[in-house]
Amino acid sequence: MVQSVAIFGNSHVSAIKTAWEEAKQDYPQVSFTFFAARANYMKYIEARDGVLVPTNEVTERSIGFTSGGKSKIDPKEYDCFLVYALGARPYLPDASVFYSDQVHQVTIANRRARQLAWRTVKQIKSVTDRPIIVGENPLPSLLSEQALRDSGDFEEGRVDYTYGVELAERLFYKEHNIRLQRQPLQTIDNGRWTKEEFCKGSERLAIGHRSDGSAHDETDTNHMNTAYGHIWLKAFMPLLQGLRDRGGSENLDKGAKWRFGLRSA
Amino acid sequence: MSTHPYSDLPESAFWRSAVAEKHLLDITDIWRPKFDIGANHQVATYGSCFAQHIGIALKTRGFQWLIAESAPYAMSQDDARLFNYGIFSARTGNIYTTSLLHQWARWAAGSEQPPEEVWHDGDRVIDPFRPRIERGGFASVSEMQASRAQAISAFRESIEKANFFVFTLGLTESWKNTAEGYEYPMCPGTVGGTFDPNCHAFENQEYISISKQLRSAIKLLRGMNKRLRFILTVSPVPLTATKSGHHVVVANSYSKSVLRAVAGDVYQRLPYVDYFPSYEIFTAPPFRGVFYDPNLRTPSKHGVAHAMDIFFGSMKTKVREKPRRRPRKPRKTDDGAAQVKSADVVCEEELLEAFS
């Protein structure tokens, strides 16, 4: 029995996809299908008659290419869903300042509400009650501090990924019955940056375009490379194993008939 | 022709030339600041509702409004205001009286610990000294205490970092815990807590007490920052309600007159204290109440802009106004509650109107 995972993503998912293509033989218990498009083109996905369909030509071509020829996402074909990146930046509050849980919660919820990742989660939820996992954008590498400052999206003070991610899990994802796959700690520097080695040589998401596989700009410190993807995949497997062990039932309504292991690959 | 003390006075000293022969918007030279706020000076603002206008104006006009307690960076501006971040320099809520300012100063100086009193609203916890600071209240007593400790720490930080401390005197009417001697910003039972006539007492403070509390507060704050200078204002916003037994118009006149007299006295005696006449700009006869909304209580947008034009126009330093960002689309909060507009002020005392 193979656990079938549908992965929704944007350019960031390239690291995971390239790593998966190199290492899928190491993970025979799972099967990944990628539904990805560059930039914000995954916003052109809608739920219609119980399936998710692209409503834009670029999106249709992209998910067709990344999935190996699928033109729609039929939730019945998958045991669980991973929503990767799609604007879901990690929550990084200043840990030296006290904020109430409600302040954190409102901040996280309203920020998530504006992100494509959350729209995608809602689209998936509208057609299935199977488990959904979110993998947030990788932390930027240190080189992009100035870019973050320039964009006004830089938190001063004592910032720690683990502190923020625990808040996000407790106050947001758990509330919505969603699992969060954390960024592996061995890829993180000083609690808030992805190690520089992982942003070197990152590749553009392959979508059947002439730029497929080309490297991101040297100054790009937000996209990660295949080495990062390997570490992330390895960290992701225990979560999938956990879902298999639980029969995948934790997200199901009472009485739902679907269970892991009942479906053949 | 003989000379006398009035012969060389400027136009502004005579009602006819300064007022009667001018359009109300042309009445100028109404404030001569003791100090000049420079573009790099840090300005802390606290006090009653009207103080919020000064903070917002400082920011929009390119001055350095010191915010020592910020919302999480990822929080939207509208949400931050709903949770009372960026209203004053720290998340103190309204400080209406000089005695409340003194109370906050003692907490910040560490000479006194905040009382242990806690109010409950169902399963939520209300801070008696900032009853509207957290929408819906805090989750627990420890959370409320940690939040207040953060506010006290930020209040102290703002004092230590500031070059100027702008304080708007708002009320003389106050509510105290008679057993313990501390003061509440709002009468218990109105926006939180339960009123107990055996331990909650009304006090309409008098000149001597108000003056003493203000001087003591200033002394304590200067103890934390010797270079700190003060700009006092008296809120032109009339009382929402009075417990004095007098008609609200009469009660308002008493309160504002006493506060104005105290501010003037402290201004005269202390070289590091200035007085900005926002009260006069709104309430003096030449202005005919035109700077209020139709309820004759809420300062109008134009009135606030006019007062702030005088405030900043009187300064030697001219700072280029920051270009205004395009406003974000209004959003609903999770529970669908209406959001506070960025330009609105947050005023707990207005909640008393619900009892009229």
The position carrying tokens 């627990």 is: B140
The reported pLDDT for the residue numbered A219 is: 81
Q: Is the pLDDT of residue A149 over 70?
A: no
CB contact under 8 Å between A93 and B73, yes or no, is yes
Condensed to tens digits (0 to 9), the pLDDT of residues B213-253 reads: 999 999 999 999 999 999 999 999 999 999 999 999 999 99
Strand A45-48 and strand A51-54: pairing? antiparallel
Chain A residues inside the 8 Å CB shell of B71:
99, 103, 107
Chain A residues inside the 8 Å CB shell of B82:
106
Q: Is the pLDDT of residue B347 over 80?
A: no
Please tell me the distance from the alpha carbon of residue A131 to that of residue A78, in angstroms, as a whole number. 10
Residue of B nearest to A114 (CA): B331
Q: Model's pTM, two decimal places?
A: 0.88
The per-residue DSSP string of chain A comes to: --EEEEEEE-GGGHHHHHHHHHHGGG-TTEEEEEEE-STTGGGSEEEETTEEEE-SHHHHHHHHHHHTS-SSB-GGG-SEEEEE-TT-PPP--BTTS---HHHHHHHHHHHHHTSHHHHHHHHHHTT--S-EEEEPPPPPBGGGHHHHHHHT----S-B-HHHHHHHHIIIIITTTT-EEEPPPGGGEETTTEE-GGGGTT-BPPPSSSTTTTPBPPTT--SS--HHHHHHHHHHHHHHHHHHHHTTTGGGSPTT----TTSS--
Chain A residues inside the 8 Å CB shell of B143:
100-101
Sheet holding B183-184, edge to edge: B183-184, B173-177, B200-204
Band of residue B353 on the pLDDT scale cut at 50, 70, 90: low
- ipTM for the complex? 0.87
The reported pLDDT for the residue numbered B172 is: 98
Band of residue A258 on the pLDDT scale cut at 50, 70, 90: very low
CB contact under 8 Å between A102 and B136, yes or no, is yes
How many Å lie between the alpha carbon of A28 and the closest alpha carbon of chain B?
A: 40
The reported pLDDT for the residue numbered A215 is: 83
Chain A residues inside the 8 Å CB shell of B147:
98-100
Condensed to tens digits (0 to 9), the pLDDT of residues B39-71 reads: 999 999 999 988 899 999 999 999 999 999 999
Residue B136 in contact with partner chain A when CB distance is under 8 A: yes
Mean pLDDT of A102-120: 95
Residue of B nearest to A91 (CA): B74
Residue B75 in contact with partner chain A when CB distance is under 8 A: yes
Condensed to tens digits (0 to 9), the pLDDT of residues B116-161 reads: 999 999 999 999 999 999 999 999 999 999 999 999 999 999 999 9
| Mean pLDDT value across chain A | 89
Beta bridge partners of B200: B177
Band of residue A69 on the pLDDT scale cut at 50, 70, 90: very high
B204 three-class SS: strand
